[in-house]
Amino acid sequence: MVGSTTVGFRVLVTGLYLFLLAPILIVVPLSFSDDNILTFPPTSWGVRWYAQMFEHQALVNAFQVSLSLAAIVTVLSLAAGIPAAYALHRFRFRGRDALMNLFTAPLLLPSIVLGLSILLVFVKLQLLATFVGLVVAHLIVTTPYVVRIMSTALTTLPPSVEEAATMLGASPLVVFRRVTLPLMMPGLVASAALSFLLSFDEVVISLFITGPHITTLPVEIFNYVESRTDPLIAAVSVVLVAATLLVVLLVERSLGLSKAMGK
Amino acid sequence: MTLAQRTLDPRPAHSAPAARPERGHLRLEGVTKRFAGDVNAVSDVNLDLERGKLLGLLGPSGCGKTTTLRMIAGLLPITSGRILVDDDDISLRPPHQRDFGLVFQNYALFPHMTVAENVAFGLDMRRVPKAEARRRVAEALELVRLPGYGERKPREMSGGQQQRVALARALVINPRILLLDEPLSNLDAKLRDEMRREIREIQQRLGITTVFVTHDQVEALTMCDVVGVMSGGRLAQIGTPEDIYERPASLFVADFVGRTNILDCEVLNGHRVRLGDGVYSCAATTIRPGKAKVAIRPHRINLTPHRDRALLSTSTNSAEGRVLRTTYVGDIVQYDIDIGGPTLQVETPTHGRGLAVAVGDKLLCEWRPDDMLVFER
Amino acid sequence: MAVSETSLPLADAPTATARAKVFPVVPVALLAPMMLVNLIAFILPVAQLVRISFLEGSGGVLTDTTTIGNYVDFLTDAYYLSMIWNSVLLAFVVTVLTLLCAYPIAMFLHTVSPRWRNLLFVMTISPLLVSSVVRTYGWMVLLGDQGLVNNMLVGMGLIASPLRLVNNTLGVVIGLVEILMPYMALSLIAGFGRLDASLSEAAASLGAGRLSRFRRVTLPLTLPGVALGCLLCFVLSISSFITPKLLGGGRVFLLATEIYDQAVIQLEWPLAATISVAVLVLFGFALAVYSNVVRRFD
């Protein structure tokens, strides 16, 4: 067969996968290091950095902020993004394509530029280093994905199905609740999971608008790594990767990941 | 829909529809739809459909037949005119309060519900008690010959089965009017024949007023009590299938419904036309002498071997012709025959023996004057 | 705004003749929250960014004087000019290396059986779900003086003292290539979708060897994916901040790190805004090159 691969090619691909996954895989053994400094392989093993993690007040606080932030951002992203996607799908009006482009445009702006821009406006709006400010800033990161995913989900939903419900006597609200919403569920779950992960991992924009009194976990990790090098962050990373895996598995269990990705 | 409108509505959508004798008399008065850009999608459609009758809206794509159906359904607001059911003006009533059944071209079954849940949806909306709903769902599935299919999901069923479920879903609510939007166009030819018969039978058994949109003239002629032919957003003609076929009101209708020869001619007087080299008798016409068009159905032309000429009756048109081409179709043979100028297409049924006609043979074509219709160009 | 519905009337159904002129309450209400978010966190900020790039001021204090001085200063300063050059060069090198690393993976995914393909596909994009801070930290562990690579090399006796793999441009390049590989792979896989196995077989039946099949069939057909992937990587690496900041150890000066330093540490907002606009202009250039390339191949 023409497509068959040589041994050399397989070795090359294996090496490339190793390269791709190495920085994620390395933190797992490192998190069980008992050393004071960053050295690999560790000279002795232990779980002291996991214990340290819970005693590091700044990290714990930042974790709590990030968690509630991601939860609120997820809810608000869906609340803003789904009606918008629905309106763009259901109504025809001039400037409809332009609005769609506007809603997804923040995806194209580099986050370093977006972060600075938001900083410059938030200074005036007194939103700097506030929880509300973080929510608003994260929304601009998550909503483009929500609008895009939901638009895709809606285009696979034939309008005649909703019309059929209408003809059978369902009022617009009932049509939405009984037909539209259930059929949008896969897109909705995917949007929610993605919003949560994006907000929880967001770092560049947050760096611009967090302050000494309020900071998110990725920002705290960034600051920590920048100033100190010890295995504490490895322990944190393992927890984060495990949590991400959990979210992905939950989505996979509820509807199948490939389906959620809209494939 | 406003709240006030709903409370004032004499027939609330949620009351179980009682079988009322006068239910289902549909009338359209000057119904017009204009979309943005000032193009009239549907202009001034008038029709009066008696209770229990099946109306077929027939026309090519883009003629406005589906737009008309959607306006009747309430899915498209009308620009002007009135729609009345049992003398009750429903023009402004939202679709979910019209109490009509609609079967979609693509069936539009709810993919997340089972067949039984699909059929029960309308009953659920009408707050029909669970036990009664279960009974009526079972009856409806029985009616469309799908008993015991209730627990399936739509995607596990064939196109024809989905079609039946869609029909059951529309019928179970006992609608005032049943609307069918090209329901058979996604089925293969054999299944289409079967469903055609079945829909007609159910419609007659239930005595339900029905509007049926189709682009297939066979469907319209074979199933319907009344056929409305639409063209360019207008109702070109409305009448019984026989009216439409035998007495088309316009060249368009003659051409669209059934196969026909359309030829240039010259009107000589109220009952004679010149066609090519010959002069023939035609059905009485009021068209003034001059250029016009003439229509003759291919199967209304008789072919006779040349030597039988003596047998001709004088009240029949006859023309000598030369066979240009023969096409064997199976049930019929088509001949292209040059009758001295125009070429006539003629169809004769096959008998198994055949006419033994070859290209180049000379034959006589005969047809009755009544089968020769004259239209403005 | 003239609004009409594609299908079912969600809005109230007032008189049929008047409905086109009625204020479209429902769509506007549905769009309003999204518009508000977009206005506060996107439109206003970008407008403000451009405005401030034309204002005088420093140390977090802005005047109302409009000037193009920021741009003149920025574009005449040799330090910044070399920074632009370095950033573009780095992005270019990273893009080429990412392409070289991701192409074999995409090609392999195209040839393996569907069962393996799904698993490997998930493996290829899964790093996207892991924070770039964490992945960058992983590289610090791998490449540091006491890291895995150096300890291994020293342990094997290949080198006497640790190599300097981080806190320099090399570290930044290695980290960025790895961080951007999933994006490149995604674009390439999309490009490989156009490649039908039978095409390669057809070429083989015509006598083409393995290499010429790749050069004459596979490569040209996958070029659109290559172009898209390169655009994406170039743009992402020129605006990347976390990786250069952490793996550069404060010794690698790029446009993105400069924006952050000027804005957050020096509080030189007009300068930071000016550099940001410059980054956007570079984006525009990359996009123009991309559309030119794509047009030539279509």
C161 vs B: CB within 8 A: no
Tokens of C273: 């805004």
In a domain, B129, yes or no: no
A140 vs C: CB within 8 A: yes
Same structural domain, B370 and B279: yes
Rg for chain A, CA atoms, rounded? 23
Helix (H, G, I), strand (E, B) or coil at C148: helix
Quote the pLDDT of residue B2: 39
Same structural domain, B244 and B290: no
The percentage of residues in chain A with a pLDDT greater than 70, rounded to a whole number, is 95
Express each pLDDT in A99-128 by its tens digit.
999 999 998 899 999 999 999 999 889 999
Q: Which strands, in side-by-side order, build the sheet including B88-89?
A: B39-49, B26-35, B80-85, B88-89
Q: What is C66-297's CATH number, 1.10.3720.10, 3.40.50.300, 3.40.50.10860, 1.10.10.60?
A: 1.10.3720.10
In a domain, B118, yes or no: no
- Residue A193 near residue A251 (C-beta atoms within 8 A): yes
Q: Does the distance separating the beta carbons of A241 and C1 come in below 8 Å?
A: no
Quote the pLDDT of residue B239: 93
Q: Does the distance separating the beta carbons of B126 and A166 come in below 8 Å?
A: no
In a domain, B110, yes or no: no
Same structural domain, B22 and B95: yes
Give the ipTM of the model, two decimals please.
0.85
Same structural domain, B227 and B275: no
DSSP H stretches of helix in chain A: 7-31, 48-55, 57-90, 96-104, 111-125, 131-155, 159-167, 172-175, 181-201, 204-209, 217-227, 232-255, 257-260
Of all helices (H) and strands (E), which one includes residue B88? strand B88-89
User: pLDDT per position in chain B (377 positions), as tens?
Assistant: 333 333 333 343 443 444 444 567 899 999 999 887 657 789 999 999 999 999 999 999 888 999 999 999 999 999 999 999 988 899 999 999 999 999 998 889 998 899 999 999 999 999 999 999 999 999 999 999 999 899 999 988 998 899 999 999 999 999 999 999 998 888 888 888 888 999 999 999 999 999 999 998 888 999 999 999 999 899 999 999 999 999 999 999 999 998 899 999 999 988 889 988 888 888 888 888 889 999 999 999 988 876 665 555 667 888 888 999 988 888 888 999 998 888 999 998 887 665 578 888 888 888 998 899 999 87
The amino acid sitting at B173 is I
How does DSSP assign B18-49, residue by residue? ---TTTT-EEEEEEEEEETTTEEEEEEEEEEE
Tokens of B98: 């019209």
Distance of CA B22 to the CA centre of its chain: 25
Determine the Cα–Cα distance for residues C179 and C95; give it in Å rounded to an integer: 11
In a domain, B135, yes or no: no
C208 vs A: CB within 8 A: no
Residue closest to A241 by CA, chosen among A22, A27, A16: A27
Residue located via tokens 């483009």: A144
Q: Which residues from chain B sit within 8 angstroms of residue A181, using beta carbons? A: none
Determine the Cα–Cα distance for residues B338 and C249; give it in Å rounded to an integer: 94
User: pLDDT per position in chain C (298 positions), as tens?
Assistant: 344 444 433 333 333 333 444 567 888 899 999 999 999 999 999 999 999 999 887 777 777 788 888 899 889 999 999 999 999 999 999 999 999 999 999 988 888 888 888 888 888 988 988 888 999 999 998 998 888 888 888 888 888 888 888 889 999 999 999 999 999 998 998 888 766 667 767 777 777 777 777 777 777 778 888 998 999 999 999 989 999 999 988 888 999 999 999 998 888 899 999 999 999 999 999 999 998 888 877 6
- Picking from B252, B268, B284, the residue at the C-terminal end of a domain is B252
Q: Does the distance separating the beta carbons of A203 and C31 come in below 8 Å?
A: no
Q: Does the distance separating the beta carbons of C8 and B36 come in below 8 Å?
A: no
Same structural domain, B70 and B188: yes
Domain A46-260 has CATH 3.40.50.1970: no
Q: Is B304 exposed, middle or buried (0-12, 13-18, 19+ CB in 10 A)?
A: middle
Q: Which residues from chain C sit within 8 angstroms of residue A250, using beta carbons? A: none
Number of domains in chain B: 2
Express each pLDDT in A221-261 by its tens digit.
999 988 888 889 999 999 888 888 888 888 877 765 444 44
Q: Which residues from chain B sit within 8 angstroms of residue C9, using beta carbons? A: 74-75, 77, 94-95
Residue located via tokens 């490449």: C143
Q: Does the distance separating the beta carbons of B99 and A161 come in below 8 Å?
A: no
In a domain, B113, yes or no: no
Residue closest to B208 by CA, chosen among B170, B163, B166, B242: B170
Question: Which residue range forms the structural domain that includes residue B308?
Answer: 259-375
Quote the pLDDT of residue A190: 87
User: Within chain C, how many helices (H) and strands (E) appear?
Assistant: 14, 3
Same structural domain, B241 and B266: no
Q: Is the pLDDT of residue A220 over 90?
A: yes
Task: State how far residue B36 is from chain C, nearest Cα, in angstroms.
Answer: 9
Express each pLDDT in A65-94 by its tens digit.
999 999 999 999 999 999 999 899 888 788
Quote the pLDDT of residue A92: 79
A121 vs C: CB within 8 A: yes
Same structural domain, B248 and B264: no
Q: Which residues from chain C sit within 8 angstroms of residue A117, using beta carbons? A: 45-46, 48-49, 276
Rg for chain C, CA atoms, rounded? 25
- Contact residues, C window 4-43, toward B, CB-based 8 Å cutoff: 4, 7-9, 12-17, 19-20
Which of A160, A168, A172 lies closest to B125 in CB terms? A168
The amino acid sitting at A216 is T
A98 vs C: CB within 8 A: no
- Residue C224 near residue C294 (C-beta atoms within 8 A): yes
Determine the Cα–Cα distance for residues B270 and B289; give it in Å rounded to an integer: 8
- Residue A216 near residue A210 (C-beta atoms within 8 A): yes
Determine the Cα–Cα distance for residues B293 and B251; give it in Å rounded to an integer: 8
Write the CATH number for B88.
3.40.50.300
Same structural domain, B246 and B302: no
Q: Does the distance separating the beta carbons of B104 and A163 come in below 8 Å?
A: yes
Residue located via tokens 């300890």: C151
Tokens of B227: 């056929």
Which of B1, B75, B91 lies closest to C16 in CB terms? B91
In a domain, B164, yes or no: no
Same structural domain, B60 and B179: yes
Determine the Cα–Cα distance for residues B85 and B72; give it in Å rounded to an integer: 10
How does DSSP assign C107-147, residue by residue? HHHHHS-HHHHHHHHHHHHGGGGS-HHHHHHHHHHHHSTTS
- Residue B2: closest CA among chain C residues belongs to which residue? C12
Report phi then psi at B192, rounded to 5.
Answer: -60, -45
Q: Where are the domains of chain C?
A: 66-297
* Long-range pairs of C57-60 with CB within 8 A, sequence gap ≥ 24: C57/C269, C57/C270, C58/C267, C58/C268, C58/C270, C58/C271, C59/C267, C59/C268, C60/C267, C60/C269
